[in-house]
Amino acid sequence: MRWLIGGAVVVAGGMVARRLLGGTDQGDGHRQRGQTQRRGPRWHVATVNRPAGDVAPGGQLPEPLAGLGDAVEVQLRPAPGDQGTEIAVRLRDGSRLPVAAAARRATGRDPEQAIRAALRESKQLIETSEVLHPDYPPTTEPTPMNKPLRMATQQGRREGRL
Amino acid sequence: MKALVWEGANELAVRQVPDPQLRNEQDAIVRVRKTVTCGSDLHLLGGYIPFMERGDVLGHEFLGEIVEVGPQVRNHKVGDRVVVCSFVSCGKCWYCQHQQFSLCDNGNTNPMITENVWGSAPGGCYGYSHALGGFAGSHAEYIRVPYADQGAFTVPDEVSDERALFASDSAPTGWMGADLAGVKPGDVVAVWGAGAVGQMAARASVLLGADRVIVIDRLDNRLQMAQTHLGVETLNYEQQDVSGELLERSGGRGPDVCIEAVGMESHSSGPQFWYDQVKQQLRIESDRPIAAREAIYNCRKGGSVFVLGVFAGLVDKFPLGAVMNKGLTLRGAQQHGQRYIPMLLERMARGELVTEHLATHTMPLDEAPRGYDMFKQKLDGCVRAVFQPTS
Ligand SMILES: NC(=O)c1ccc[n+]([C@@H]2O[C@H](COP(=O)([O-])OP(=O)(O)OC[C@H]3O[C@@H](n4cnc5c(N)ncnc54)[C@H](O)[C@@H]3O)[C@@H](O)[C@H]2O)c1
Ligand SMILES: [Zn+2]
Ligand SMILES: [Zn+2]
């Protein structure tokens, strides 16, 4: 079950944090398969509502993606049905040990997280000319109950199914 | 500044929080003049949506005056009296450009929560938990409005604050339900729920030419209100046989369009209420879909059912068999306000759409916890409690 309402927020929050950090696009079964097969890095793809010329004018990718440098491969292709341009990004070197990957992910240092954030931020820059920031200063305060949720939202745009 | 904050399930408090700041060039800061309770807040209040933090400011349906604008705000200036759409949408992504504003790709700063829970992320919403962006809500003296050119609409002089306030959320929600359900002249439309959202859906159906519009609830004051102010028929489900009445009033066919405007905390006098209530409290199902089941059951063959009520997750005993075998079209959405608000303000100016009667109780922000209590318990005929933070 994906939906994780707990009787208490702390329960729900804890599960949510685990879910968010663990990812859901690959269920446990997939993850185990992935571990044994060491499947290569997957493409992370976002569609931007602009023609390719606006996505990389003069071949220059937007800063968040350009900043990933040679660590990633980037492909651009027109999206079908006039939906703009698909930007596909994947790590060049995928032969990472799953254990190390999980640890990096939990500490927010997984390169796949950086790819997601760069893709989302680039899409926003191209479509809206800025990256939307959360409200600041916050009106909330940390409590033992909301700790898991705060941990999860700190990952901002770095997690999710992208 | 002063704000109404969520302190925990069923715990609210008015306290001091930091003033909002411009964070993006397309932001504005609005001084809130009126801000109103919504049925959606009750789901947060009750702890049914587990993405709230202590200190989150509630409220998403509001009207006020612009006091500060970012350098990229083009259509608004300081001093404008604006009503603001409850959803935060960029206006530029594919969904916004196709008028599906609540599905905006860019309006939610925490897309991962809803991507994981629902498969993909809708846009952001003020005061509606960290799943929808964690934006501070409008039950406060001031609020930050991102993408101000897209989400804030100048109110015509001839429309009062009291009327325009509901162009923020309940009126566009109701209109969207009738519009996207395909209400057309000659239709029989049934609406479950006589709260502000159901009433606005019913009025929209009338204005779109429906032949008969029937609003269903158990609260007599709300049903009376619908008859008086909207010119529609009503059914009290505690006193009347809803299925039989709907067949009788639609020539034995069943309503062409059924609009659900109740949501995940649906009530019923039958045993199914206790069944769903127990399962919801044990967290075996997250939502009680009682009115949604009825809407599907009563809809005519080939008809259209629209779910306006908010559902968060999983429901039980969902009549998929009726949907499939009767060839129904089932749709739902968070409201695409930016698509409808200018038209609604014009209709408000012409007097076609009145909303003031919904504001049954108006009070200073300091009394907001009492206002929510009245709204939640439906005490003293409360349909909506309006707070005035800065009067
Ligand atoms: N889709 C959107 O964008 C959007 C926007 C605003 C509100 N909403 C949702 O719309 C719903 C209604 O909002 P509201 O502000 O009018 O709430 P409300 O609580 O004022 O009204 C709900 C009404 O439903 C009635 N009701 C309960 N069970 C019923 C049943 N089985 N049959 C018929 N009526 C029943 C209640 O008596 C009440 O009058 C909520 O779920 C809210 O979250 C959705
Ligand atoms: Zn609402
Ligand atoms: Zn958008």
In chain B, the percentage of residues whose pLDDT exceeds 70 is 100
> Which one-letter amino acid corresponds to residue B100?
Q
> Which one-letter amino acid corresponds to residue A46?
A
Domains held by chain B: number:
2
- Nearest residue (by CA) to ligand 1, atom 9, is B309
**Cα(B148)–Cα(A31) distance, integer angstroms:** 43
Name the band, by pLDDT with cuts 50, 70 and 90, for residue B283.
confident
* Residue B227, domain CATH: 3.40.50.720
Mean pLDDT of A71-99: 86
Mean pLDDT of A70-93: 94
Q: Check residue A8 and give its pLDDT.
A: 28
Do residue B227 and residue B290 come from a single domain? yes
Q: Do B119 and A161 touch (CB under 8 A)?
A: yes
Do residue B233 and residue B359 come from a single domain? no
* DSSP conformation letters of B320-352: HHHHHHTT-EEEE-S--HHHHHHHHHHHHHHTS
φ/ψ (deg, to 5) at A16: -60, -45
Q: Is the pLDDT of residue A22 over 70?
A: no
Question: Distance from the CA of B327 to the center of ligand 1, in angstroms?
Answer: 26
* Residue B107, domain CATH: 3.90.180.10
Give the helix ranges, DSSP H, for B231-270: 242-248
Residue A67, CA distances (Å) to A70, A107, A115, B169, B298 in order: 9, 21, 10, 40, 57
Do residue B283 and residue B326 come from a single domain? yes
For a substitution probing ligand 1, which of B37, B38, B60, B266 has the most ligand atoms within 8 Å of its CB? B38
> Over chain B, what is the mean pLDDT?
96
Q: Structure tokens of B47?
A: 């702890």
**Cα(A31)–Cα(A39) distance, integer angstroms:** 10
Do residue B164 and residue B21 come from a single domain? yes
Nearest ligand to residue B195 Cα: 1
- The residue from B317, B332, B347 where one domain ends is B332
Name the band, by pLDDT with cuts 50, 70 and 90, for residue A19.
very low
Do residue B142 and residue B157 come from a single domain? yes
User: What's chain B's Rg over C-alpha atoms?
Assistant: 20
**Beta bridge partners of residue B34, listed in sequence order:** B63
Q: Check residue A103 and give its pLDDT.
A: 66
Residue A13, CA distances (Å) to A4, B52, B316 in order: 8, 10, 23
Q: What is the dihedral of CA B83, B86, B90, B93, to 10 degrees?
A: -130
Q: Which of A94-103, B16-25, B266-275, B292-301 has the lowest mean pLDDT?
A: A94-103
Q: Do B48 and A130 touch (CB under 8 A)?
A: no
**Cα(B257)–Cα(B178) distance, integer angstroms:** 8
| Order of strands across the sheet that contains A44-48 | A44-48, A85-91, A72-78
Do residue B228 and residue B354 come from a single domain? no
**Cα(B166)–Cα(B38) distance, integer angstroms:** 10
Do residue B122 and residue B7 come from a single domain? yes
Report pLDDT digits (tens) over B220-236: 999 999 999 999 999 99
Closest CA to A127 of B101, B22, B106: B106
For a substitution probing ligand 1, which of B165, B262, B331, B360 has the most ligand atoms within 8 Å of its CB? B262
Do residue B380 and residue B311 come from a single domain? no
Question: Distance from the CA of B103 to the center of ligand 3, in angstroms?
Answer: 7
Name the band, by pLDDT with cuts 50, 70 and 90, for residue A16.
very low
Is B268 close to ligand 1, i.e. is its CB under 6 Å away? yes
Q: Check residue A101 and give its pLDDT.
A: 66
pTM metric for this prediction? 0.92
Q: Do A135 and B116 touch (CB under 8 A)?
A: no
Mean pLDDT of B275-284: 79
Collapse the DSSP code of A158 into the 3-class scheme (helix H, G, I; strand E, B; otherwise coil) and give the result. helix
Q: Do A137 and B105 touch (CB under 8 A)?
A: no
**Cα(B294)–Cα(B269) distance, integer angstroms:** 13
Do residue B210 and residue B268 come from a single domain? yes
Report pLDDT digits (tens) over B122-140: 999 999 999 999 999 999 9
Collapse the DSSP code of A45 into the 3-class scheme (helix H, G, I; strand E, B; otherwise coil) and give the result. strand
Q: Is the pLDDT of residue B110 over 50?
A: yes
Nearest ligand to residue B180 Cα: 1
- Sign of the Cα torsion A60, A65, A69, A72 reads negative
Report pLDDT digits (tens) over B145-191: 999 999 999 999 999 999 999 999 999 999 999 999 999 999 999 99
Check if the interface score ipTM surpasses 0.90.
Answer: yes
Do residue B205 and residue B118 come from a single domain? no
Report pLDDT digits (tens) over B351-386: 999 999 999 999 999 999 999 999 999 999 999 999
- The residue from B284, B305, B332 where one domain ends is B332
> Which one-letter amino acid corresponds to residue B217?
D
Q: Is the pLDDT of residue A21 over 80?
A: no
**Cα(B388)–Cα(B391) distance, integer angstroms:** 6
Do residue B153 and residue B259 come from a single domain? no
Q: Check residue A6 and give its pLDDT.
A: 30
Whether cis (ω within 30° of 0) applies to the bond prior to A138 is no
Do residue B328 and residue B343 come from a single domain? no
Q: Is the pLDDT of residue B96 over 50?
A: yes
Q: Give A110 or B306, the one with higher predicted confidence.
A: B306
- Are A76 and A46 spatial neighbours (Cβ–Cβ below 8 Å)? no
Report pLDDT digits (tens) over A25-43: 333 334 444 444 556 789 9
Q: Note down the domain range covering B324.
A: 173-332
Q: Structure tokens of B70?
A: 């970012």
- Are B27 and A133 spatial neighbours (Cβ–Cβ below 8 Å)? no
Q: Which of A32-41, A45-54, B90-99, B328-337 has the lowest mean pLDDT?
A: A32-41
Measured in angstroms, the CA of B233 and the nearest CA of chain A are apart by 38
> Which one-letter amino acid corresponds to residue B125?
C
Closest CA to B197 of B156, B169, B221: B169
Q: Check residue A96 and give its pLDDT.
A: 55
Is B173 close to ligand 1, i.e. is its CB under 6 Å away? yes
Task: Say which residue the tokens 């898991």 belong to.
Answer: A148
Beta-carbon-side half-sphere exposure of residue B7 (alpha carbons within 13 Å): 10
Q: Do A49 and B106 touch (CB under 8 A)?
A: no
Residue B11, CA distances (Å) to A7, A148, B46 in order: 16, 20, 9
Nearest ligand to residue B385 Cα: 1
